[in-house]
Amino acid sequence: MDLKLKNIYREVNLKFIVVEIVLFITVIYLIGYFLNKSDPLFFNSKLNFLLHLLPISIITLFYGIFAGLLYFIAFSGSAILIYGKVDYEYLLSLLLFLLIFSEFWFYWDKRIKEAEEKFKYADDKLRDTARTLLLTKLSHDMLERFYIAKPVSLRKVIFDLKREILENGNKEEILKKLFLIITANFSVEKGGIFEVNEDLKLKFIAGNTDIKELNIKDPLINSAINSKVLTYISNFAEEKSDYLAVIPILENDNIKYILTIEKMPFLNFNLDNLLSINLVADYVVLSIKDLVSIKDIYKNFKEFDIDFIKELNRMFILNKKFGIDSTVIYIYVKGLDESLYDFIISNIRGLDIAIKLDFKAQNFQGIALLLPFTDIYGANLFVKRIKKAIIESYSVEYIEKNVKYKFFKINKPERLLDEFYTFEGFNGT
């Protein structure tokens, strides 16, 4: 949801709360006036506390302390206007319960937001894994197909582009290189990439198209904007368009860019290639936002895997924003044997991330593990489980002589990455 939609949502929500508060007070007043004209708000009724507490509890538990206080002020003001004099101790007791209800609201609202963020993170990770898997497959297929003419992996080209995002960070230059990758690997002869702003105005960014201003009324452009999915000419056989295909590139479910294809060889113009172009464009554009945020961190820790730093930064943001715990574990293994690293990789969860750094001069390797949504206690259990598995496969003596570890609660990425180098080595190394 973009900023404009969020502001509209807040305005509508506030108006709805005010309407609901007015409705509650009006209903209570009308019922009270019908039953007893001298006591329309039930202040002298035997059930007064229950009748007054019920709307306070509903509004506060559902909307929070702001709405509860708004109702309390409106209700207290109405009571003073109608009765002239009211029991202020009674009103204070209602206020006390309002504050208690607001604590319940605060606690559960925080828990719900945490759960939503965890679900969003898991969903993003699943999507990232799917994109990476598809990109790897696509890269492998293209490498086989064009090995003699172009013995370069598409995945390697995109990986180099990701490094350039971190080192350069110029969005327009990155998009120009993205378009060159697409033209070189998918035989797109003419097209362009356009940025979409909040008012659906399109700004030309990259490409070799002669059309620098897009016509939103074009059937393919219009369909792509409205449906937010790939649109191509065979879907509009009876309508005239300036394009063969239009690909919307999304960011947070909003169209961020539009990629147009005007000219492409007939044999290459097929759904499989169009979907592949969509995948590559999505992958690069989504990487720009994430990678720019870790650009300064990466400059000082280039030996670490880019995705590890990215996820470490995301976990730090979630911890700072919602207090969600995550843990980083550093395992140091004497020697440069790959088998233990492979063994640890086979024993981690799908959300966990592990990378390996070799220190050949000191004859040991370091394994960095990020355990999302896992506190120190959970990390301890994980280490015990790993140690037990290593002992079963190796020996107790091997653990004592060749494996050391330490773990840290999630913190600033720079501080955590710097901690990796504080290891003093093994005895005798």
pLDDT at 13: 67
- Superfamily of segment(s) 152-292: GAF domain (3.30.450.40)
Amino acid identity, position 28: I
Please list the rounded mean pLDDT of every run of 10 residues in the chain (429 residues).
46 70 79 80 80 86 87 87 84 91 89 84 75 63 47 65 78 86 87 83 86 83 88 74 89 86 89 85 82 86 87 90 88 78 83 83 82 90 85 81 86 89 67
Strand partners, 406: 330
3 state SS of 328 = strand
Q: At 387, which helix (H) or strand (E)?
A: helix 376-393
CA–CA dist 279, 128 (Å, integer): 11
Contact residues for 318 (Cβ-Cβ < 8 A; gap 6+): 117, 121, 324, 326
Cα distances (angstroms) measured from residue 422 to each of 183, 273, 360: 47, 49, 17
CA–CA dist 70, 59 (Å, integer): 10
Q: What are the tokens at 217?
A: 């009324």
Contact residues for 295 (Cβ-Cβ < 8 A; gap 6+): 165, 166, 167, 169
The single residue listed with the structure tokens 């290189």 is 177
Give the CA angle between residues 142, 147, 153 to the nearest 5°: 55
Contact residues for 60 (Cβ-Cβ < 8 A; gap 6+): 67, 68, 71, 98, 101, 102, 105
| Three-state secondary structure string covering 169-200 | CCHHHHHHHHHHHHHHHHCCCEEEEEEECCCC
User: β-strand 327-334 against 353-359: which pairing, if any?
Assistant: unpaired
**Mutual orientation of helices 48-63 and 3-35 as an angle, nearest 10°?**
170
Q: Determine whether 368 is exposed, middle or buried from the number of CB atoms within 10 Å of its CB (0-12, 13-18, 19+).
A: buried
Domain boundaries, the chain: 3-113, 152-292, 303-422
The DSSP code sequence of 257-306 is EEEEEEE--TTT-SHHHHHHHHHHHHHHHHHHHHHHTTHHHHHH-TTS-H
Spatial CA neighbour of 320 closest among 419, 251, 409, 420: 409
Candidates 1.10.390.10, 3.30.365.10, 3.30.70.2880, 3.40.50.10680; CATH matching 303-422: 3.30.70.2880
Q: Determine whether 303 is exposed, middle or buried from the number of CB atoms within 10 Å of its CB (0-12, 13-18, 19+).
A: exposed
Q: 246 near 233, Cβ under 8 Å?
A: no
pLDDT at 152: 47
CA–CA dist 202, 189 (Å, integer): 21
Extended strands (E) in 80-201: 190-196
pTM of the model: 0.68
CA–CA dist 427, 400 (Å, integer): 11
Contact residues for 391 (Cβ-Cβ < 8 A; gap 6+): 398, 399
Spatial CA neighbour of 72 closest among 56, 84, 49, 86: 56
